Amino acid sequence: MIIRNLQKSDLLGLLNLIEGMVDYHHEIDGYYKAFSEYKTLEEDVKFWLNDKDTRSLVAEDNGKLVGYLRAGVERAPDYAIVKKIGIIYDAFVSEKYRKRGIARQLLNEALKWFEIKKAKNIELSVDVRNEAGIRFWKSAGFKEYKFRMRFDL
């Protein structure tokens, strides 16, 4: 397994992984868009490649992309003591490759980058119904500190 930075040549493989993640969330709740509704995803991914405050990592197995993690550094909210925070925007490992430590490897590489960028806290959001995701993030040391709630009209 190779963990490395996303490259332009990875676009198709990454879009396949994103489709898996998006479809997973759409099945959890129709609030999340279906993959077919993302019209600018290819342009978004190209932006990630050039943004100095974003790091996109992929897990490659024998030339095939099997996982990814996208992270960024942002200005911290005004209520926070720290100046900037790290954000894990999304992470996904193909179902066939789960429980092999791939997500942990992606996270460890992202944590190194967060240290270089001097982020003091790392935040992420995970759907409360994504039990496997919650278990993983808790096992990696993340803890709940705030609840985000939604009201549907």
Structure tokens at 71: 């992270």
CA-based nearest residue to 124, from 99, 143, 108: 143
Structure pTM? 0.91
Domain containing residue 26: 2-139
**Is the pLDDT score of 124 beyond 90?**
yes
**Is the pLDDT score of 74 beyond 90?**
yes
Kindly report the CATH number assigned to the domain that includes residue 80.
Answer: 3.40.630.30
In a domain, 150, yes or no: no
d(CA 136, CA 67): 14
Query: Taking a C-beta distance cutoff of 8 angstroms, is the pair 88, 71 a contact?
Result: yes
Minimum mean pLDDT range among 39-48, 104-113, 140-149: 39-48
In a domain, 145, yes or no: no
d(CA 124, CA 76): 13
Q: What percent of the chain has pLDDT over 70?
A: 100
In a domain, 36, yes or no: yes
Q: Which helix (H) or strand (E) holds 45?
A: helix 41-50
In a domain, 43, yes or no: yes
In a domain, 121, yes or no: yes
Question: How many domains is the chain partitioned into structurally?
Answer: 1
Q: With left for phi above 0 and alpha for psi between -120 and 50, is residue 139 left, alpha or beta? A: alpha
pLDDT in tens, 44-67: 888 899 899 999 999 999 999 999
CA-based nearest residue to 89, from 62, 126, 121: 126
In a domain, 96, yes or no: yes
Which pLDDT score, from 0 to 100, does residue 41 have?
A: 85
Mean pLDDT of the chain: 93
In a domain, 146, yes or no: no
Question: In the predicted model, what is the mean pLDDT of residues 143-149?
Answer: 90
In a domain, 69, yes or no: yes
d(CA 26, CA 114): 29
User: What letter would DSSP give residue 62?
Assistant: T
Q: Which helix (H) or strand (E) holds 17?
A: helix 11-28
